[in-house]
Amino acid sequence: MKFRRVALGWALVASAGVAHAQPAAVFAVPDELRLRRQDVQLARSAGQPLGAEGAIVTVDAFRGETVAFQVALVAGDAPIGAATLAISPFGDGSAPRAESFREHTVAVSRRSHNDQRPGESLGWTPGARPDDSAMLGDVPDALIPIAVDATPIDPPPVAPPNTVALFWVDLVVPDATPAALYTATARVVADGATVARFLVRARVAPTPLPFRATSVFVYYEPPRLAARIGDAAEVERQLWRLLHAHQIDAIASLADATEAERLADAFDGTLFTAARGYDGPGAGLPPAVAAIGAYGALKGPTPPALDRAAAIAALLHPHVPDLFVYAIDEQCDNPRAADWVAALKARPDIQGVAVGQTCARPASRQAADIAILSPDAFGFDSGRDAAASGKRAWIYNGALPATGTLLLDADPRGLTANGWIAAAAAIPRWFYWESTFWDDDNRGGRGPVDPFVTAESFHNADGDTALGDGLLLYPGRQTGRFAAHSLGVAGVLPSLRLKALRRGIEDAGLIALAMRDQPKETARIVAAAIPRVLDEAPGESRPSWSGFAEARTQLRRLVVRDAAMTPAEVQAAFRDLRLRRNPGAPRAPAHRLPIAPLSMVVAVVLAGLLVARSRRR
């Protein structure tokens, strides 16, 4: 993304006809820079002024890509009571379109931590902990569509004196958009007065961006949707469409065939068509992966459980390429995965269904067909080592400094980094444990929270407190005790962290395109952008990435062919990239998240319990 610099000009906000010494100002801000309400000077220094005549925001995109930027409205000496952003159409249905949101902030006064080890959390080692100075304050995350009345959660003023109010803008480029330069007009209105008028230009290149270049899937729980929002059937479908538009697959428990039948239109891809109200990338494509009995919902492989698995597989097999029984969660010594592997081998009527489990041990030491490894256990050689033992290795969640983290009190650029990491290490799939965790109902949890108000949304019996963990989606409507903060939307709303995940997935697509045309230079750019990740990252170091805007621009310049890439070609490009990352170089010791002290426990038991305190339900 490139912002055209213009002469600084700040428009005055009309307030009883009095001009204030410090007027309001409007800036375009890159999407990967998260601004808190108090980050006035950062908005001014990092943003492009939009108050002067002739200001232009220019973005570059491939077909099928969504690019984003932010608009920061900085209040002067007077508060801004109400404000809005309006962007005209770019053209007809094949042209890019703008989707605008208000950024809602939540107060962060205490960090994610563990009671016994305050510097540690589920999202980082103590040495990788982000500084308080960058994380405390009013932090934005929930995104409210511009047409929705936000006053139930954001009463006036939208910007007290000398603070920032933010808008998020997605520019969605349909797959069929012709390559051209597209222009729209935009204006920011504050308290009835236009304070900025500018152009938005989208330069669309002819090359199609691969959809879902790297596979990400997240869990959600339908009972949460029903209890908090209501209209469960339609809300659930809206959730699937929203995640699909962000190139992410949803997974539910799928404990019996009725659940699979309920979601049949999602699994055959018809939910993601114009006929069903979907207007986004990957139209008509089914999910890439589905879990049968997520989080061990089927328990052991009894004859009834096997019959249920067979019925689910029969419904999904014609459409979803990768099915697995999610045998057990974070219990490496539990024999259930081995029992499922043996039971499925004895059932020739259940074809093409693997067995997976979350566990920190190497794949070669697991009975499961798919070892879903924690970030501290996944290394650049994990996939190769798994293949040598006839297995597969995936990754789940994330922790600094090896990968980015889901937690709210960390830089969301880490979630973008995960897309780069997945491409660089040729990671087949990345699983995030939850997306609608509004109820804090783990063992040791403290009960339902209003996510628009309460940042501490997760607690467990091991003394962990986490901010925003498992919470990528916000309830558009709230019933019951939180009804006063309901926005009246029968669906879920996105977050900045969801947008950061999408940007990383799209960046993986850019990496694949660039690898096809200029692999040596692409490998150099990727290595410079993420110099030390996974098992290359010393456990107590800071994250090695800082930002991706310039690297992204460099990758775009390397793409010269207009032809689309097939999924097989994308994966081949990632394998090539993985091999080019100097596999013979010595690695730093894989970092490990500290574990609660257990007296007189031998090292082998510690290894088996590595993730036992993480997010067990």
pLDDT tens for 418-436 read 999 999 999 999 999 999 9
Has residue 17 got a pLDDT over 70? no
pLDDT of residue 312: 97
Mean pLDDT of 154-160: 96
Mean pLDDT of 17-35: 82
Integer Cα distance of 469 and 438 in angstroms: 10
Has residue 19 got a pLDDT over 70? no
| pLDDT grade for 21, boundaries at 50, 70 and 90 | low
Residue 480: left if φ>0, alpha if ψ -120 to 50, beta else—which one?
left
Integer Cα distance of 490 and 488 in angstroms: 6
pLDDT tens sequence across 280-307: 999 999 999 999 999 999 999 999 999 9
Q: Residue 501 in 3-state DSSP?
A: helix
pLDDT tens sequence across 581-592: 966 544 444 444
| pLDDT grade for 93, boundaries at 50, 70 and 90 | confident
pLDDT of residue 458: 97
| pLDDT grade for 6, boundaries at 50, 70 and 90 | very low
Mean pLDDT of 106-129: 96
pLDDT tens sequence across 460-511: 999 999 999 999 999 999 999 999 999 999 999 999 999 999 999 999 999 9
pLDDT of residue 52: 85
Closest CA to 159 of 34, 62, 23: 23
| pLDDT grade for 231, boundaries at 50, 70 and 90 | confident
pLDDT tens sequence across 134-148: 999 999 999 999 999
Cα 490 to Cα 104, 140, 251: the distances in Å are 18, 22, 20
- Residue-averaged pLDDT of the chain: 92
Integer Cα distance of 324 and 292 in angstroms: 6
**Long-range contacts (CB closer than 8 Å, 24 or more residues apart) made by 275-279:** 276/237, 276/241, 277/241, 278/241, 278/244, 278/245, 279/172, 279/174
Mean pLDDT of 517-522: 98
More confident: 616 or 392: 392
| pLDDT grade for 594, boundaries at 50, 70 and 90 | very low
CA 229 centroid distance within chain: 22
DSSP 8-class letter at 154: S
pLDDT of residue 23: 87
pLDDT tens sequence across 255-284: 999 999 999 999 999 999 999 999 999 999
Residues of the chain above pLDDT 90, percent: 88
Is 0.75 surpassed by the pTM of this model?
yes
Q: Residue 44: which residues within 8 A CB-CB, separation 6 or more? A: 25, 27, 74
Peptide bond just before 401 cis, omega within 30 deg: yes
More confident: 455 or 617: 455
CA 228 centroid distance within chain: 22
Integer Cα distance of 571 and 565 in angstroms: 10
308 phi, psi to nearest 5 deg = -65, -40
Compute the Cα dihedral for 230, 235, 239, 242 and give only its sign: negative
Integer Cα distance of 196 and 186 in angstroms: 8
| pLDDT grade for 615, boundaries at 50, 70 and 90 | low
pLDDT of residue 586: 45
| pLDDT grade for 232, boundaries at 50, 70 and 90 | confident
pLDDT of residue 611: 39
pLDDT of residue 524: 97
Mean pLDDT of 37-58: 95
Residues of the chain above pLDDT 70, percent: 91
Please write down the HEC assignment for all residues of 102-146: EEEEEEECCCCEECCCCCCECCECHHHCCCHHHHCEEEEEEEEEC
Q: Residue 246 in 3-state DSSP?
A: coil
Integer Cα distance of 105 and 121 in angstroms: 22
Cα 238 to Cα 39, 140, 250, 480, 489: the distances in Å are 34, 23, 11, 21, 11
Q: Is 547 exposed, middle or buried (0-12, 13-18, 19+ CB in 10 A)?
A: middle
pLDDT tens sequence across 71-82: 999 999 999 999
pLDDT of residue 543: 97
pLDDT tens sequence across 539-548: 899 999 999 9
Residue 124: left if φ>0, alpha if ψ -120 to 50, beta else—which one?
beta
More confident: 232 or 194: 194
Mean pLDDT of 111-120: 95
Helix axes of 519-529 and 567-580: crossing angle, nearest 10 degrees: 70
Mean pLDDT of 195-217: 98
| pLDDT grade for 601, boundaries at 50, 70 and 90 | very low
